[in-house]
Amino acid sequence: MGPAELSLQPWDPVSPQLAQAHGNVFTVWVGPTPVVVLSGFRVVKEALVSNSEQLSGRPLTPLFRDLFGERGRPFDPRVHIVTSTARVIGALVFGRCFLLEEPFFQELIQAIDFGLAFVSTIWRRLYDLFPWAFRHRPGPHQEMFRYQKAVRGYICREISRHKLRTPEAPKDFISCYLAQITKATDDPVSTFNEENLIQVVVDLFLGGTDTTATTLCWALIYMVQHGAIQERVQRELDEVLGTSRAVRYEDRKRLPYTRAVLHEVQRLSSVVTAGAVRQCVTSTRVHSHPMPKSTIILPNLASVLYDPECWETPQQFNPGHFWDKDGNFLVNEAFLPFSAGHRVCLGDQLVQMELFLMFATLLRTFWFQLPERSPGLRLEYIFGGTRQPWPQKICAVPRLNCLKPRSWRGGRVANGRGRGRSGDLSPTETFLSLFRLLKS
């Protein structure tokens, strides 16, 4: 449209005549409602940029309220949360954020869901018992192999793309690993090779997506169950952070109650219930029992997280387990959701960061509650590789007077910018420390 066509009626609130007559800030009345019209770059910039947070609300008109409802529809948060945690791993590994509509991303999420559900089916047991009988037979295990082929194919293409790039400081896991392969070319015992790289990337997605997402789902469910605790977390967040800026990881030091609640979520949900099986590489003794070489061991992590000798109310949600009388965060050495020792979860720092940033941001922005006429929360779990909450809908009610944190649209968790004070790791640094762990 050319400038000549842009003819506005003089009574149109954005017509230049009105601004010329009444200045860059004037009021028009839309029925009984006054609307302040701002004109010109300087005034508009001052309003939208300098007063960005103050002006970040949107009026809810009666028509919109009736059309869409003030509170929003009940929803099952799981799908959104899994998407977020998978995007974090994608950003660390591939150096870019997946777009939600990318077909591979959709397939990856399905592959993770299917794979984790499959490991707890009878098919998996049958396959392990009679591999020769199942290898070439149809069945859900073939779907596993199909997903595996698709995911591996994608990772291979990503590796090729990385290799074609002009050399630069490694920015993501694949480029770090490729640099390490080159460095170790003359080392005859090096285990750095592309085949291992593909497998490690698969491990990071499998180990790092569902576990973190399931913990966050439990966090929201426990908050719905314990409204008073939810309210107390929100009070702490409001008092310490105000509404002025996005949550940062280093803020956790000033938010001991929020931290205690998150630790309690991890303890009670115990998402990796039985840990991962281990095998003795040499003969040893445990609790004076002989454990010959090759013995398979299953450390029952839930038994630690619910050990009545270590926790005051092991079966109840009680942030007091991580909270002392003076309001300080309390460390408990029986807090072992990530296991311990040589094969401890290598994502524990990343998880703490993700859980804190996502949980604090969600609770600052929304109040979580049951939908009206809901029959109540289902607190029993279903086992799908991890201990998952029953699929159920909850409501996220925008908190009044809550200003939208700036990072809400920006995917700050994944972009790796910014560094906290000593001891705090940005996502990039966490990923580099993951890499160091893999190297050792």
Residue 34, phi then psi, degrees to nearest 5: -80, 135
Binding mask 294-313 for ligand HEM (x = CB under 6 A): -------x------------
The residue assigned the tokens 């954005």 is: 14
* Count of residues that interact with ligand HEM, criterion CB under 6 A: 24
The nearer residue to ligand HEM, 346 or 394, going by C-beta atoms, is 346
Q: Which of 186, 194, 182 is nearest to 155 (CA)?
A: 194
The nearer residue to ligand HEM, 197 or 272, going by C-beta atoms, is 272
The residue assigned the tokens 């309003």 is: 47
The nearer residue to ligand HEM, 271 or 363, going by C-beta atoms, is 271
The nearer residue to ligand HEM, 19 or 220, going by C-beta atoms, is 220
Tokens in use for 216? 């966050």
Using CB under 6 A as the binding rule, whether residue 215 contacts ligand HEM is answered as: yes
Neighbours of 76 (CB within 10 A): 14
Which contiguous run of DSSP H or E holds residue 278? strand 278-279
Exposed / middle / buried, residue 394 (Cβ in 10 Å: 0-12, 13-18, 19+)? buried
Please tell me whether 345 is known to bind a ligand: yes
Using CB under 6 A as the binding rule, whether residue 272 contacts ligand HEM is answered as: yes
List all residues 6 or more positions away from 366 whose beta carbon is below 8 Å from its beta carbon. 396, 397, 398, 399
List all residues 6 or more positions away from 404 whose beta carbon is below 8 Å from its beta carbon. 53, 56, 365
Tokens in use for 265? 């979520």
Could you say which residues in the range 8-47 bind ligand HEM, by CB under 6 A?
none
7: Cα separation from own chain's centroid: 49
Residue selected from 74, 140, 207, 398 as contacting ligand HEM according to rule CB under 6 A: 207
Could you say which residues in the range 70-109 bind ligand HEM, by CB under 6 A?
89
Binding mask 130-169 for ligand HEM (x = CB under 6 A): ----------------------------------------
Q: In angstroms, what is the minimal distance from the CB of 136 to ligand HEM? A: 30
Which contiguous run of DSSP H or E holds residue 296? strand 296-297
Query: Is 368:224 a contact under the CB 8 Å cutoff?
Result: yes
Residue selected from 271, 304, 357, 413 as contacting ligand HEM according to rule CB under 6 A: 271
Give the span between the Cα atoms of 124 and 140, in whole angstroms.
9
Using CB under 6 A as the binding rule, whether residue 363 contacts ligand HEM is answered as: no
The nearer residue to ligand HEM, 241 or 351, going by C-beta atoms, is 351
Angle at CA of residue 221, ends 216 and 223, nearest 5°: 95
Q: In angstroms, what is the minimal distance from the CB of 385 to ligand HEM? A: 11
Residue 278, phi then psi, degrees to nearest 5: -120, 170
Using CB under 6 A as the binding rule, whether residue 262 contacts ligand HEM is answered as: no
Binding segment for ligand HEM (CB under 6 A), chosen from 36-44, 61-69, 223-231, 268-276, is 268-276
Exposed / middle / buried, residue 157 (Cβ in 10 Å: 0-12, 13-18, 19+)? exposed
Using CB under 6 A as the binding rule, whether residue 389 contacts ligand HEM is answered as: no
Binding mask 327-356 for ligand HEM (x = CB under 6 A): ----------xxx---xxxxx--xx-----
Give the span between the Cα atoms of 399 and 412, in whole angstroms.
21
Question: Looking at beta carbons, which residue is closest to ligand HEM?
Answer: 347
Could you say which residues in the range 187-206 bind ligand HEM, by CB under 6 A?
203-204
Residue selected from 77, 90, 95, 208 as contacting ligand HEM according to rule CB under 6 A: 208
Binding mask 220-259 for ligand HEM (x = CB under 6 A): ----------------------------------------
The nearer residue to ligand HEM, 241 or 261, going by C-beta atoms, is 261
The nearer residue to ligand HEM, 167 or 341, going by C-beta atoms, is 341
Rounded to a whole number of angstroms, the CA Rg of the chain reads 26
268-295 in b/e form (b: 16+ CB < 10 A) is bbbbbbebeeeeeeeeeeeeeeebeeee
Binding segment for ligand HEM (CB under 6 A), chosen from 49-57, 100-108, 232-240, 275-283, is 275-283
Residues within the interface to ligand HEM (CB under 6 A): 89, 203-204, 207-208, 211-212, 215, 271-272, 275-276, 278, 301, 337-339, 343-347, 350-351
Tell me the binding residues for heme: 345
